Amino acid sequence: MDTSDAHRQAVKADFIARRGYWAPWHEGLLALNPDFLEAYLGMTSLAWTNGVLEPKLKEFIYIAIDAATTHLYLRGLRLHIGTALQYGATKEEIMEVLQIVSQLGWHTCSVGVPILADELRKAGLGAPADAPLPAEAQALRAKFEQDLGYWDECCDELARLAPAFLEAYYRFSREAWTSGVLEPKVKEFIALSVNASTTHLHEAGMRMHIRRAIACGATAAELMEVLQLTSVLGIHTCSIGVPVFTDELARAGQPVV
C-alpha cells in the first residue's frame, strides 16, 4: 500500500476531479487506507465518467436509496439532494422521488398478505383462492391496472381481506404514477433502485420495474447503470464506520497515520 503524502494528495485530487465533491469521512479513509479509497473511486466513478444517465438522474437514484425506509441515511440524503439541486433538479422532481420511494412499505403486504391468505385457508378460515372478487373490487382492479400498471395476487387477497385498505393504498400511490413531472421511465428507475438496494433486495419488484422500464424504452445500458449506482451503497459501512474508527483511535492515543 502506498501511504506517501504525495499518493494521498493525488488520490484526493482525482476524487474531487471525477466526483466533484469531498466529504469529511473521505479524509479519514484517505489517512487510513488511500489505496482502498482509490479502488472505491474507480468503481463509483465509472457511471459518472462513462455513463449514459444524466447527472441529475444519477442523483435521484442516490436520493432514493438513501431515503428508503430500509436505509434512512441522512448524511447521504442531504448531500445528494443538494447536489441534485446544483444539477438543476426542481423541488417538484425531488418531491416526486420521495413520493415514489415512500411506497416501499407496500412490500409488507405484497409479501405478507399472500402468506396470510394461504395460512388462513390451511386453518379453514379463508375464502378459496378462486373465489370471485366482490363487484367493487372489479372496478378497483381496473383503476389499479390503468393507473399503477399492475394487479397481483396480493391485490386479489386484499380485495377479500381488507378492501378499504386496498382502496386507500391506491389513492396513496396513484399521484406519483399518474401525474407529476418525472417521465415514466425515470419513475421506473427510481423504483428499481430501491427494490435492488442491498438493504431490500426485493426480487419480484426488481423484475416488475425492469420489465416496465423496458416497456417505457429503457436500454440495457441505462438499466445496468441504475444497478451500478445502487450497488455502491455498501460504502456507507465506511462513511459511518471510518469516523467512529478514527475517533476511537484518538481516544486510545493511537495515530491515524
Whether residue 77 sits in one domain with residue 13: yes
Residue 157 lies in a domain: yes
- Considering 151, 174, 197, which residue would you say is the last residue of a domain? 174
Residue 10 lies in a domain: yes
pLDDT for 134 equals 84
Residue 256 lies in a domain: no
Place of cell 423484475: 207
Whether residue 9 sits in one domain with residue 77: yes
> Each residue's pLDDT tens digit in the chain (257 positions)?
777 999 999 999 999 999 988 999 999 999 999 999 999 999 999 999 999 999 999 999 999 999 999 999 999 999 999 999 999 999 999 999 999 999 999 999 999 999 999 999 999 998 888 888 888 899 999 999 999 999 999 999 999 999 999 999 999 999 889 988 999 999 999 999 999 999 999 999 999 999 999 999 999 999 999 999 999 999 999 999 999 999 999 999 999 98
CATH number for 187: 1.20.1290.10
d(CA 218, CA 208): 13
Burial of 62 (0-12, 13-18, 19+ CB in 10 A): buried
The residue segments making up the domain with residue 234 are 5-90+181-251
Burial of 255 (0-12, 13-18, 19+ CB in 10 A): exposed
Whether residue 169 sits in one domain with residue 194: no
Furthest CA-CA distance within the chain: 73
pLDDT for 41 equals 95
Residue 55 lies in a domain: yes
d(CA 75, CA 243): 13
Whether residue 190 sits in one domain with residue 85: yes
DSSP H/E element including 120: helix 107-122
Whether residue 78 sits in one domain with residue 189: yes
Whether residue 165 sits in one domain with residue 185: no
d(CA 105, CA 54): 28
Whether residue 194 sits in one domain with residue 165: no
Cell numbers describing residue 110: 405484497
